[in-house]
Amino acid sequence: FSALGSDSNAFTSYDQTAYFGTVERNKLKALLTLEADRMQNALINAEQLTSEKRVVISELQGYENNPDYRLNRAVMRAAFPNSPYGLTVGGTKADVEKFTVDKVWEYYRKYYSPDNATLVVVGDFETEPTLAAIAEIFGKVPDREKTGERSQETGDKKNSPSASPTSSSSPSRPKSSPIVLREPGAAATLQVVYPLPDVNNPDVPALDVMNYILTEGRSSRIYQALVESGIASAADGGTANLIAGGWYELSATAAPGQELTKIDRVLQQAIANLQEKGVTAAELNRAKEQVRSTIILNNRDISSQATQLGNDQTTAGDYRYTDRYLAALNKVSVADIKRVATTYLAPNKRTVGMFEPTQIAGKSAPGAAGTGQTAESFNAGPPVDPAQVAKYLPPIDASTTPALAKLPEEFTLSNGLQVLLLPDPSTPTVTLSGYIKAGTEFDKGKQGGLASLTADNLMNGTKTKDALALAKALEDLGANLGFTASREGVLAAGYSLKTDLPVLIGTFADVMQNANFPSKELELERQRALTKLKLELDNPARVAQRKFQQTIYPANHPFHSFPTENSLKNISREDLLAFYQKHYRPDRTTLTLLGDFNPSSVRSLLEKQLVSWKDSGKPPTIAYPPAPLPEKVVRLNPIMPGKTQSITLMGYKGIDRKDPRYYSALVLNQILGGDTLSSRLGSEIRDRLGLTYGIYSTFQAGMHPGPFLIRMQTAPEDASRAVASTRNVLQQIHKQGVTEAEVQAAKRSLTSNYTVSLANPDELASTILMNAVYGLGEAELRSFPQKIQSVTLAQVNLAAKELLQPDNLAVVTAGPAVATTQGKK
């Protein structure tokens, strides 16, 4: 699949396993051929199963690092003791250890069959020839039932009433007896689950509307009751409606100093108020519009459309289910909301779980540092030969050529704001993607978190609208706008239906020019930031990232600083106002709009709304000091209590986006670790050695040199071996280089994946935006594939010599204690 250039993956959920791939149109038949082959000819042997079991156990153990996962597992088991829905999708370590070749083979032969499968094809193709190709390719796959390979009892179990959570799996635990987990962690969490009916029950649309009224957006009832009141830092909810039943889950994370019992009382009161007093017509209409808009906005690309159709057919038994659902949604009434809330959210039906942390995150032992030189030798195996892989590739239609990407219209307002517009009438939606050069690189001294806190507060009020008014203006229309600070800039992301674009642009313009950072909202946001920090310090991946960057960048480097509890507490409203006035400038802002609109009308709207935004003086700049490579391999192991898996980051300072070696580095990285299954690292560390569920490498090239890093998750006892084996792969490529066949395969994969990615509106808008931010010119949108294709073997091997430094690595492993070279922990 990688050699074909397919953007492929797979997932298993409660009711289905799905394999999906997106390719250029001339590769459709080849993709169908590979999928048909997978359905009937999978090679399942003892060696492969042993390796795969090991990496799957690593994945499952990684979930155990998250207290929310552990709590949800206990709650679902108690809520649905007699249903498969009470089990975790991936099973447990004990489950996986029991799997034999015979068991896996029996399962494969029983369920991987045309009569048990749905095939969905969405995109640019001709229907009749495609149907003929499907009949030719999949018509050869045997029907397991007709050939006697599937027992009769398999067929209808999924629709058996005994499997329904609402019929026989109601909670056995009374509401007065919540499940309580007391384990190491960061923040107290509440989870509540109610059984719901199956996907085809006529109450499903009303239940979704009820959930949106309760939990969706700032104007929702539970958000107002829990988050805006300051007793919770986060609150969420969601419905799941499947073949044999479903559930409604509510969750909340306690704010510092708040009790879960209090949060639960407020939650119950919010539900009781809805049951007793019902909802208003305004709430009903807002929620229905949010549900409708969400469905449309979530299906703007062909991959999402295919997923929806496949899920509708598999789960609901009708690929037109969403059409029927939307028609039923229009009919949901105020009375329906009160009725379903009373029927399904009765107190005696709920199962409650509480996670109470026993140890504050961030208080872990510092761990040991060493050179990382191991006594053992883990020689890298031979790389997978792309020429061997090519033997199994089906023929590709070379008679068609990919269409050239349409270039955006680019202009600059009189105040310096750069705008890029790309009309796309394929869906009635608009995507807004913006960039303001006001990132965390400008956090100074003891003000770590200032840029993020400023961005997080932008939607908390302006000179004419408070936070709730801003939220309702968008939520009433099902639109969304948010801001996130990254290292080098603040990213703005907005979505709306095409008719609501003026409101989206108007809101963006308002917060860019008139944000006023109300004190009350700032304090609530600060508490949420403190809770978020605690959760990050209890997350091995975030701890590893923090320690890694502070190791490869010196203390005076903008990429070294991170928020701390003290820095967040010491930031004042005046600090936010000063940062906002200094860094939020039109001449440091780039805005991309993509969707169904008239460019001239949008340009007039932008000029009207944003031309009065002014700046003064020269834009702020910041010096970037050198970040030399480590003189040797530096090994760090931040020890985190209560964790079962380790996250390892390896690397050093890399290159910037305009480095002349950038395109060669992309090809090199694709070969090294760009694909966790087909790359050198994936083939060696995952497939041959079975040490990790996933490993990848990347050059994080921005306006300034970001890290080159390799990331993997392992069992703690496997971490040192995985690190040593990874270094050997780096040594192998650094010294011996790669092959011409690998370069050609990597180039095909990169260019194909790039073309496929541009079919996603979010990806396309982001690519257009960042090309402009990096000063690459609008032509980069089209010329990127050609630049990749022009990379030579000699250039890739030179990049390997210059950019891979296996003896100068920072290696950070966060999680349980691991053995280092000196035998220490």
Tokens matching residue 340: 């379903």
Q: 7-157 has which fold? A: Cytochrome Bc1 Complex; Chain A, domain 1 (3.30.830)
Cβ contacts of 730 within 8 Å, gap of 6 or more: 672, 804, 806
Q: Specify which residues 225 forms β-bridges with.
A: none
Look at residue 394 in the predicted model and tell me its pLDDT: 81
Least confident of 147-161, 657-671, 710-724: 147-161
Kindly report the CATH number that applies to the domain delimited by 165-357.
3.30.830.10
pLDDT digits (tens, 9 = 90+) for 398-414: 666 667 778 999 999 99
Q: What pTM, to 2 d.p., does this model score?
A: 0.89
Q: Averaged over 665-673, what is the pLDDT?
A: 98
Tokens matching residue 508: 């963006």
Q: How far apart are CA 320 and CA 141, in angstroms?
A: 27
Which residue in this structure is represented by tokens 């399962």? 107
Q: How far apart are CA 483 and CA 584, in angstroms?
A: 12
- 8-state DSSP, 462: B
Tokens matching residue 420: 């890029």
Q: Which residue has the higher pLDDT, 638 or 361?
A: 638
Q: How far apart are CA 562 and CA 548, in angstroms?
A: 12
How confident is residue 5, by pLDDT bands cut at 50, 70 and 90?
confident
Q: Averaged over 648-665, what is the pLDDT?
A: 98
pLDDT digits (tens, 9 = 90+) for 175-233: 558 999 999 889 999 999 999 999 999 999 999 999 999 999 999 999 999 999 999 99
Q: What is the mean pLDDT of the chain?
A: 91
pLDDT at 584 over 50: yes
Percent of the chain with pLDDT over 70: 91
pLDDT digits (tens, 9 = 90+) for 519-559: 999 999 999 999 999 999 999 999 999 999 999 999 999 99
Look at residue 148 in the predicted model and tell me its pLDDT: 64
- The DSSP H or E segment spanning 433 is strand 429-436
pLDDT digits (tens, 9 = 90+) for 775-799: 999 899 999 999 999 999 999 999 9
Q: What amino acid occupies position 99? A: F
Q: How far apart are CA 735 and CA 762, in angstroms?
A: 39
pLDDT at 363 over 60: no
Look at residue 379 in the predicted model and tell me its pLDDT: 52
Look at residue 374 in the predicted model and tell me its pLDDT: 32
DSSP strand pairing (418-423 vs 245-254) = unpaired
pLDDT digits (tens, 9 = 90+) for 423-461: 999 999 999 999 999 999 999 878 999 999 999 999 999
pLDDT at 488 over 60: yes
Q: Exposed, middle or buried: residue 348 (CB in 10 Å: 0-12, 13-18, 19+)?
A: exposed
Look at residue 400 in the predicted model and tell me its pLDDT: 66
Cβ–Cβ under 8 Å, residues 1 and 390: no
Give the count of alpha carbons within 13 A of 604, CB side only: 4
pLDDT at 384 over 80: no
Q: Do domains 369-392+628-814 and 409-610 have the same CATH topology?
A: yes
Look at residue 445 in the predicted model and tell me its pLDDT: 77
How confident is residue 6, by pLDDT bands cut at 50, 70 and 90?
confident
Which residue in this structure is represented by tokens 């495609």? 130
Look at residue 158 in the predicted model and tell me its pLDDT: 41
pLDDT digits (tens, 9 = 90+) for 353-362: 999 998 654 4
Domain regions of the chain by residue span: 7-157, 165-357, 369-392+628-814, 409-610
How confident is residue 633, by pLDDT bands cut at 50, 70 and 90?
very high
Q: What amino acid occupies position 301? A: D
Kindly report the CATH number that applies to the domain delimited by 369-392+628-814.
3.30.830.10
How confident is residue 728, by pLDDT bands cut at 50, 70 and 90?
very high
Picking from 627, 625, 441, the residue whose alpha carbon sits closest to that of residue 552 is 627
Of 3.30.1360.120, 3.30.830.10, 3.20.20.220, 3.90.1150.150, the CATH number of 409-610 is: 3.30.830.10
The angle at the Cα of 498, spanning 484 to 411, to the nearest 5 degrees, equals 65
